[in-house]
Structure 1
Amino acid sequence: MGLDIVSRPSDSPYIDRVWRSRSDDVCQMTAVAAASWDLVFWERHGEVSAAVVGPETAASPAPVPEEATFFGITFAVGTTMPHLPAGRLVNSAAELAGTTRRSFQLKGSIWRLPGYDDAEAFVRRLVREEILVRDPLVAAVHRAGSPEAHQGASPPAYAHQTAPGASRVSERTVQRRFLAATGLTRGAARQIDRARRAAVLIQAGVPARDVVHRLGYFDQPHLARSLTRFVGRTATELSLGEGLAAGPLSLLYAT
């Protein structure tokens, strides 16, 4: 009962995660903050809908259609649809018109609905049609600034210089391209990813004090504020599986 979510990683540089879920006797969830965006399809009572769901800058309650099935593609940071600017999608979503059980409309064309097992083939077609593009500098900058790349310390101010070609561009250019590709600043994306990673570690049984050291938080109150803001749960709630009154969590995985 609730929201049953299954997900898998992908070998595509354009995709962060592929997931599917089913809602049963639940009408609300806590949407965890995310620096990435999703293409989501859902079916309820024979009616199919689709939407592009943008990055979320904070945890928030979100309605869940009851007795529905969902399929989604979470795109890697740095991947964008130029006709849907990232800045317009932050904390928002754009529903796609003309969606049926077989097809949907995207940028004026009819596309066959993808599935959990053929998401990569679908994305390759989007790339060939230049509907989907990727900024490799933004992707590399984001990886270089991830919590796992700097365990035990805050990421360095010039972490982007580890990215291919980054030494040939200015910090201002990196910031501009990151904002254009994600709708977020590098700092905001890093904070969101760190909180998600912290939540995954705590759910796995890692003590909060160890998470503080491992991910470079100042102290446990700093961690607590981050979890509350970006995940919508305290460390205790995550470790004990509590906080269900606010609904189940959306897809939560280590970025």
Structure 2
Amino acid sequence: MGLDIEHRASDSPFIGRVWRSRSHDVDRMTSIATSRWNLVFWEQSDQVNVAVRGPESRASAAPVPEDAAFLGIGFSLGTTMPHLPINRLVNGFVEFPDVTRGSFWLKGSAWHLPDYDNAEEFVRRLVREDVLVRDPIVAAVSGGGSPKVSERTVQRRFVSMTGLTRGAVRQIERARHAAILVQNGVPVPEVVHRLGYFDQPHLARSLNRYVGRTATCLRDHAHGEPLSVLYKT
């Protein structure tokens, strides 16, 4: 019962992760908070669907179509489609109309459906056609750089390009990292120290808000409801 999930990294600066999954005997999952948005394709009963799923500010329960196959492209921080304002997509999604088994419409043009192995070529075309852009300030900061702009400018660009404040992005990504460490058997006190939480209750609140699990559930894999894609951003 659950979701069979596979994911991989990408050498494209516009892509954070490419993933695919298949559902079986499950109708709900816990969707983990994420600072990134995803372009998602899924097929169910010979019907193909395409949607943009926005950033998620906290963990939530999400329905799962039965016996469906999914492909997702998770974009890097600061990558956007300017014609779809990201602030309107936080904790939401936009489903595309007129999707066929071979193509879908995006910004007035027909696009072939990508697959797990050619997502980079699909994204390169999006960039060439100016459908997809990446903000250089957000990209630099998320990569550890220090662009020569004021902190106020950085904060403003984060909200504009991600729909979230810079602080919210940090908290979400720290909680995801903490969840991975706990799942891998790292003791909770070490996770607290390594990631800079104040104490164990602080970590517990963060995991509950952003991952929807306690440390015990993550460590013991004790919860029956599957999680969405979890990887270190």
Partner of 1:194: 174
Preserved contact between residue 44 and residue 68 of structure 1 (Cα < 8 Å): yes
SS at 1:202 equivalent: helix
SS at 1:55 equivalent: coil
Runs of 4+ that moved beyond 2 A: none
- Aligned-pair RMSD on alpha carbons? 0.7
Mapped partners of 1:88, 1:187: distance in 2: 19
Say yes or no: does 1:72 pair with 2:72: yes
Task: Give the TM-score normalised by the residue count of structure 1.
Answer: 0.90
Partner of 1:121: 121
Partner of 1:237: 217
State the 1:141 CA deviation: 1.3
Map 1:1-255 → 2, pairs under 5 A? 1-144=1-144, 162-163=145-146, 166-167=147-148, 169-244=149-224, 247-255=225-233
Preserved contact between residue 142 and residue 190 of structure 1 (Cα < 8 Å): no
Preserved contact between residue 29 and residue 61 of structure 1 (Cα < 8 Å): yes
State the 1:80 CA deviation: 0.3
State the 1:139 CA deviation: 1.7
- Structure 1 counterpart of 2:232, which letter? A
Q: Structure 2 stretches of 5 or more lacking a match?
A: none
Task: Give the TM-score normalised by the residue count of structure 2.
Answer: 0.99
State the 1:143 CA deviation: 3.2
- Structure 2 counterpart of 1:181, which letter? M
Q: Structure 1 stretches of 5 or more lacking a match?
A: 145-161
Would you say how many aligned residue pairs link Structure 1 and Structure 2?
Answer: 233
Deviations 1:104-136 (A, max 9, x none): 111111100000000000000000000000012
State the 1:242 CA deviation: 1.2
- Structure 1 counterpart of 2:189, which letter? R
Mapped partners of 1:209, 1:29: distance in 2: 28
Deviations 1:200-222 (A, max 9, x none): 00001101110001000000000
Mapped partners of 1:242, 1:81: distance in 2: 38
State the 1:97 CA deviation: 1.0
Preserved contact between residue 53 and residue 94 of structure 1 (Cα < 8 Å): yes
Preserved contact between residue 142 and residue 186 of structure 1 (Cα < 8 Å): no
State the 1:194 CA deviation: 0.2
- Structure 2 counterpart of 1:34, which letter? T
